Chains A and B, each alone.
Chain A
């Protein structure tokens, strides 16, 4: 069974940093792209960042470009999101999700998703 478990969320100060992790199991991690999606309280879904299976290609939403860094450690089947210069508007539940297509050079549908980890940015 494919499982994705996020961790690392919590309270951060404006301007601060936080690193999220997503530990994967049940599939060959390095053969799938991975994506981070966030959801602010009471709001809809916002695509944040994605990374290819090898880690050689990364993609960012304009809202986080230059502040967030996505990476992966395929030897540990773990995805990361380093967040810096945090703002109040970054407050959200952050989900990691697996791409739907094996060895794809493009990003596709997302399945499955982890349970999410809450990041709160507040002084």
Chain B
């Protein structure tokens, strides 16, 4: 199975900060990498698919980059509604696997 490792596991940031979350795959996954946001008690929501494509309706402050094994989710200016847990997911091969999550908290 492909292992997905996110870093950091958690971070504290202030409104307006630029935030970067990284995701590393244990094997090359080309661009088959997706990012989700989950708020407490809610279902995950798709933010970015195919490494860098912004899902319709998602604010442009979210962006994704990377290929092969190293990927990044960037929030250019953190907003109050962005405090949540973020997960990466590889869709290159079965079983599809998720990173362990990165919790973004208020500083």
Contact = CB atoms under 8 A, between A and B. Distances in A.
Interface of A: 35, 37, 44-47, 50, 59-62, 95, 100, 106-116
A114 B89 contact: no
Contacts of A113: 43-45
B71 interface: no
Contacts of A107: 91, 94, 96
Interface in B41-55: 42-46, 49-50, 55
Nearest to B48: A109
Contacts of A115: 42-43
Given A44-B100, A60-B95, A95-B44, 19 more contacts: A37-B44, A44-B98, A44-B101, A45-B36, A45-B44, A47-B95, A47-B96, A61-B95, A62-B95, A95-B43, A100-B46, A100-B49, A107-B91, A109-B46, A110-B44, A111-B46, A112-B43, A113-B45, A114-B43
A106 B92 CA distance: 9
- Among B44, B50, B55, find the residue whose CB has the most chain A CB atoms closer than 10 A: B44
A47 B97 contact: yes
Chain B's interface size range is 20 to 34
Contacts of B49: 100, 108-109, 111
A10 B22 CA distance: 36
Interface SS of chain B: loop
B83 interface: no
Sorted nearest first, the 6 A-B pairs with minimum C-beta distance are: A111-B46, A113-B43, A109-B49, A109-B34, A45-B98, A47-B96
B62 interface: no
A32 to B, nearest CB: 14
- Among B38, B42, B46, B99, find the residue whose CB has the most chain A CB atoms closer than 10 A: B46
A59 B46 contact: no
Given A45-B87, A47-B96, A107-B91, A116 B50 contact: no
A44 B87 contact: yes
Nearest to A59: B94
Contacts of B91: 106-109
